[in-house]
Amino acid sequence: MEKVVTFIDGACEPKNPSGVATYGFVIYCDGKEVGRGSGLAAEPWTEGASNNVAEYTALIRALEELLVLGLQSDVEVRSDSRLLVRQVNGEYAVKAARLKPLHKRVNELLPQFKRLRLKWVPREENAKTDALTRDAYASYLQAYRNRVGTATTSSSDAENAFVFCSQCGTKIPADSRFCKECGARLTQ
Protein backbone atom coordinates (compact mmCIF):
# COMPACT_ATOMS: atom_id res chain seq x y z
CA MET A 1 0.00 0.00 0.00
CA GLU A 2 1.23 3.46 -0.89
CA LYS A 3 1.97 5.84 1.97
CA VAL A 4 0.86 9.36 1.01
CA VAL A 5 1.96 12.30 3.16
CA THR A 6 0.97 15.83 2.26
CA PHE A 7 2.30 18.98 3.91
CA ILE A 8 0.29 22.22 3.69
CA ASP A 9 0.92 25.78 4.81
CA GLY A 10 -0.50 29.27 4.48
CA ALA A 11 0.64 32.75 5.39
CA CYS A 12 -0.51 36.35 5.14
CA GLU A 13 2.23 38.96 4.82
CA PRO A 14 3.17 41.66 5.68
CA LYS A 15 0.10 41.94 7.90
CA ASN A 16 -2.72 39.66 8.94
CA PRO A 17 -5.48 40.09 7.96
CA SER A 18 -5.63 42.26 4.84
CA GLY A 19 -2.17 41.46 3.54
CA VAL A 20 -1.12 39.07 0.79
CA ALA A 21 -2.42 35.57 1.61
CA THR A 22 -0.42 32.77 0.00
CA TYR A 23 -0.41 28.98 0.28
CA GLY A 24 1.82 26.02 -0.48
CA PHE A 25 1.59 22.24 -0.45
CA VAL A 26 3.85 19.28 -1.19
CA ILE A 27 2.64 15.71 -1.77
CA TYR A 28 4.84 12.67 -1.15
CA CYS A 29 4.05 9.12 -2.14
CA ASP A 30 6.29 6.49 -0.55
CA GLY A 31 8.78 9.24 0.30
CA LYS A 32 9.02 10.62 -3.25
CA GLU A 33 7.65 14.06 -4.13
CA VAL A 34 4.80 13.65 -6.63
CA GLY A 35 3.07 17.02 -6.47
CA ARG A 36 3.33 20.57 -5.25
CA GLY A 37 1.57 23.86 -5.61
CA SER A 38 1.55 27.43 -4.36
CA GLY A 39 -0.08 30.75 -5.09
CA LEU A 40 -2.40 33.47 -3.89
CA ALA A 41 -5.14 32.35 -1.52
CA ALA A 42 -7.31 35.48 -1.75
CA GLU A 43 -7.47 38.92 -3.30
CA PRO A 44 -4.43 40.77 -1.86
CA TRP A 45 -4.91 43.68 0.52
CA THR A 46 -8.56 42.83 1.27
CA GLU A 47 -10.35 41.71 4.43
CA GLY A 48 -10.71 38.29 2.78
CA ALA A 49 -6.94 37.77 2.90
CA SER A 50 -5.80 36.13 6.14
CA ASN A 51 -3.46 33.40 7.32
CA ASN A 52 -6.43 31.15 8.12
CA VAL A 53 -7.89 31.64 4.62
CA ALA A 54 -4.45 30.73 3.26
CA GLU A 55 -4.26 27.58 5.42
CA TYR A 56 -7.70 26.44 4.24
CA THR A 57 -6.80 27.22 0.63
CA ALA A 58 -3.65 25.11 0.96
CA LEU A 59 -5.73 22.19 2.23
CA ILE A 60 -8.31 22.55 -0.55
CA ARG A 61 -5.69 22.78 -3.31
CA ALA A 62 -3.80 19.81 -1.87
CA LEU A 63 -6.96 17.69 -1.65
CA GLU A 64 -7.88 18.61 -5.22
CA GLU A 65 -4.39 17.64 -6.43
CA LEU A 66 -4.53 14.36 -4.52
CA LEU A 67 -7.78 13.54 -6.33
CA VAL A 68 -6.23 14.39 -9.71
CA LEU A 69 -3.29 12.11 -8.89
CA GLY A 70 -5.66 9.33 -7.83
CA LEU A 71 -4.21 9.22 -4.31
CA GLN A 72 -7.27 8.63 -2.13
CA SER A 73 -6.59 5.52 -0.05
CA ASP A 74 -4.16 6.16 2.79
CA VAL A 75 -3.47 9.88 3.07
CA GLU A 76 -2.02 11.87 5.94
CA VAL A 77 -2.18 15.66 5.68
CA ARG A 78 0.15 17.58 7.99
CA SER A 79 -0.35 21.22 8.91
CA ASP A 80 1.19 23.58 11.44
CA SER A 81 -2.17 25.35 11.89
CA ARG A 82 -3.83 24.06 15.05
CA LEU A 83 -6.97 26.03 14.26
CA LEU A 84 -7.36 24.40 10.84
CA VAL A 85 -6.68 20.90 12.15
CA ARG A 86 -9.08 21.29 15.07
CA GLN A 87 -11.84 22.84 12.93
CA VAL A 88 -11.64 20.20 10.21
CA ASN A 89 -11.44 17.42 12.80
CA GLY A 90 -14.60 18.80 14.46
CA GLU A 91 -12.96 19.86 17.73
CA TYR A 92 -13.58 23.59 17.14
CA ALA A 93 -16.52 25.38 15.54
CA VAL A 94 -15.90 27.58 12.49
CA LYS A 95 -16.96 31.04 13.60
CA ALA A 96 -15.27 33.37 11.10
CA ALA A 97 -17.58 34.12 8.16
CA ARG A 98 -14.70 34.14 5.67
CA LEU A 99 -13.74 30.57 6.66
CA LYS A 100 -17.22 29.01 6.44
CA PRO A 101 -17.30 28.54 2.64
CA LEU A 102 -13.75 27.15 2.72
CA HIS A 103 -14.66 24.73 5.51
CA LYS A 104 -17.71 23.68 3.48
CA ARG A 105 -15.51 23.00 0.44
CA VAL A 106 -13.15 20.86 2.54
CA ASN A 107 -16.14 18.87 3.77
CA GLU A 108 -17.26 18.34 0.16
CA LEU A 109 -13.83 16.94 -0.74
CA LEU A 110 -13.20 14.71 2.29
CA PRO A 111 -15.79 12.00 1.47
CA GLN A 112 -13.92 11.32 -1.78
CA PHE A 113 -11.05 9.83 0.25
CA LYS A 114 -11.15 6.28 1.60
CA ARG A 115 -8.88 7.12 4.52
CA LEU A 116 -7.51 10.57 5.33
CA ARG A 117 -6.01 11.88 8.55
CA LEU A 118 -5.32 15.54 9.26
CA LYS A 119 -2.52 15.99 11.76
CA TRP A 120 -0.89 18.98 13.43
CA VAL A 121 2.92 19.20 13.19
CA PRO A 122 5.36 21.78 14.58
CA ARG A 123 6.36 24.55 12.19
CA GLU A 124 9.91 23.16 11.95
CA GLU A 125 8.54 20.03 10.27
CA ASN A 126 6.77 22.14 7.67
CA ALA A 127 9.74 24.09 6.31
CA LYS A 128 9.35 23.15 2.64
CA THR A 129 5.75 24.33 2.39
CA ASP A 130 6.57 27.42 4.45
CA ALA A 131 9.21 28.23 1.81
CA LEU A 132 6.61 27.76 -0.96
CA THR A 133 4.27 30.26 0.69
CA ARG A 134 7.11 32.75 1.03
CA ASP A 135 8.09 32.20 -2.62
CA ALA A 136 4.47 32.85 -3.67
CA TYR A 137 4.52 36.09 -1.67
CA ALA A 138 7.83 37.15 -3.24
CA SER A 139 6.47 36.32 -6.71
CA TYR A 140 3.41 38.45 -6.07
CA LEU A 141 5.54 41.39 -4.91
CA GLN A 142 7.82 41.09 -7.94
CA ALA A 143 4.87 40.94 -10.35
CA TYR A 144 3.26 43.89 -8.60
CA ARG A 145 6.46 45.95 -8.80
CA ASN A 146 6.73 45.15 -12.50
CA ARG A 147 3.13 46.33 -13.08
CA VAL A 148 3.71 49.54 -11.13
CA GLY A 149 6.98 50.18 -12.97
CA THR A 150 5.35 49.90 -16.40
CA ALA A 151 2.02 51.50 -15.56
CA THR A 152 3.38 55.02 -15.03
CA THR A 153 3.59 56.49 -18.54
CA SER A 154 2.39 60.09 -18.22
CA SER A 155 2.62 62.80 -15.61
CA SER A 156 -1.08 62.37 -14.68
CA ASP A 157 -0.47 58.62 -14.29
CA ALA A 158 2.53 59.33 -12.06
CA GLU A 159 0.40 61.50 -9.81
CA ASN A 160 -2.15 58.66 -9.40
CA ALA A 161 0.31 55.76 -9.04
CA PHE A 162 0.52 54.02 -5.70
CA VAL A 163 2.38 51.22 -3.95
CA PHE A 164 1.82 49.16 -0.83
CA CYS A 165 4.18 49.44 2.12
CA SER A 166 6.05 46.15 2.54
CA GLN A 167 5.96 46.55 6.34
CA CYS A 168 2.30 47.29 7.06
CA GLY A 169 0.52 47.00 3.69
CA THR A 170 -0.80 50.57 3.62
CA LYS A 171 -1.58 51.99 0.16
CA ILE A 172 0.58 55.09 -0.39
CA PRO A 173 1.52 57.37 -3.30
CA ALA A 174 4.34 55.88 -5.41
CA ASP A 175 6.47 59.01 -5.04
CA SER A 176 6.45 58.84 -1.21
CA ARG A 177 9.71 58.27 0.64
CA PHE A 178 8.14 57.05 3.91
CA CYS A 179 4.98 55.18 4.81
CA LYS A 180 2.45 57.54 6.39
CA GLU A 181 1.10 54.71 8.57
CA CYS A 182 4.16 52.99 10.06
CA GLY A 183 7.00 55.34 9.08
CA ALA A 184 8.97 52.68 7.15
CA ARG A 185 11.44 54.02 4.61
CA LEU A 186 10.36 53.04 1.09
CA THR A 187 12.88 51.75 -1.41
CA GLN A 188 12.74 52.63 -5.09
CATH code for the domain of 66: 3.30.420.10
Between the alpha carbon of residue 7 and those of residues 84, 118, 184, the distances in Å are 13, 10, 35
Q: How confident is the model at residue 54 (pLDDT cuts 50, 70, 90)?
A: very high
When comparing pLDDT for 175 and 40, which is higher?
40
The percent of residues in the chain predicted with pLDDT above 90, rounded, is: 73
Residue among 57, 58, 70 nearest 26 (CA): 58
Asked if residue 14 has a cis previous peptide bond (ω within 30° of 0), the answer is yes
Alpha-carbon Rg for the chain, nearest whole angstrom, is 19
List, in order, residues 6 or more apart from 122 with CB less than 8 Å away: 80
Q: Judge if pTM exceeds 0.85.
A: no
Average pLDDT estimate for 170-186: 67
Could you tell me if residue 144 is inside a domain?
A: no
Q: How far is CA 127 from the centre of its chain?
A: 14
| Residue 91 domain-assigned (yes or no) | yes
Average pLDDT of span 3-21: 96
Return d(Cα 14, Cα 3) in angstroms, integer.
36
- DSSP-derived 3-state class of residue 83: helix
Query: Where does residue 56 fall: left (phi above 0), alpha (psi -120 to 50 degrees), or beta otherwise?
Result: alpha
d(CA 103, CA 24): 18
Residue 103 has pLDDT above 70, yes or no: yes
Question: By percentage, how much of the chain surpasses pLDDT 70?
Answer: 77
Mean pLDDT of 4-33: 96
32 plus 84 within the same structural domain: yes
19-40: average pLDDT: 97
81 and 8 fall within a common domain: yes
Per-residue pLDDT tens for 110-161? 999 999 999 999 999 999 999 999 999 999 988 877 654 443 334 444 455 6
Query: If you average pLDDT over every residue of the chain, what do you get?
Result: 87
For residue 146, tell me if it sits in a domain: no
The reply to whether 70 falls in a domain is yes
Whether residue 78 contacts residue 119, with contact meaning beta carbons closer than 8 Å, is answered with yes
Q: Based on the number of CB atoms within 10 Å of its own CB, is 57 exposed (0-12), middle (13-18) or buried (19 or more)?
A: buried
Q: Which of 126, 136, 55, 93 is nearest to 63 (CA)?
A: 55
> Which amino acid type is present at position 93?
A
Q: For residue 53, what are the domain limits?
A: 4-138
Domain count for the chain, please give it: 2
Is the pLDDT at 171 greater than 80? The verdict is: no
Comparing 40-54, 85-99, 138-152, the range with the smallest average pLDDT is: 138-152
Q: What is the pLDDT of residue 156?
A: 46
Q: Of 74, 73, 83, 3, whose CA–CA distance to 51 is shortest? A: 83
In a domain, 46, yes or no: yes
